[in-house]
Amino acid sequence: MKKEDTVELISAEGLEFVIDKEAAMVSQTIHNMLTSLGGFTETDHREVTFLEISTTILEKICQYIY
């Protein structure tokens, strides 16, 4: 899988989950963060940090997305 085809989701504790971009786009929230106009960091780096979501919860979110 190429880096362009992935997205990094980062938990509040800093743990990174690298998932398929197509799978991540299932979430409307993540989709909006990655496709919004205006040169946001998330769009440019394909990286979304969730400061309020713990590693355990983010792991479950990733499982749900797949």
Dump pLDDT digits (tens) for 7-37.
Answer: 999 999 999 999 999 999 999 988 888 887 7
Pairwise CA distance, residues 18 & 3, whole Å: 9
Pairwise CA distance, residues 40 & 61, whole Å: 23
Per-residue pLDDT at 4: 79
Pairwise CA distance, residues 31 & 47, whole Å: 12
Pairing of strands 16-20, 6-10: antiparallel
- What pTM does this model have? 0.83
Residue 50 has pLDDT above 80, yes or no: yes
Q: What number does CATH give the domain 6-65?
A: 3.30.710.10
Q: What average pLDDT does the structure give for the chain?
A: 88
Which residues contact residue 12 at a Cβ distance below 8 angstroms, ignoring those fewer than 6 apart? 50, 51, 52, 53, 54, 55
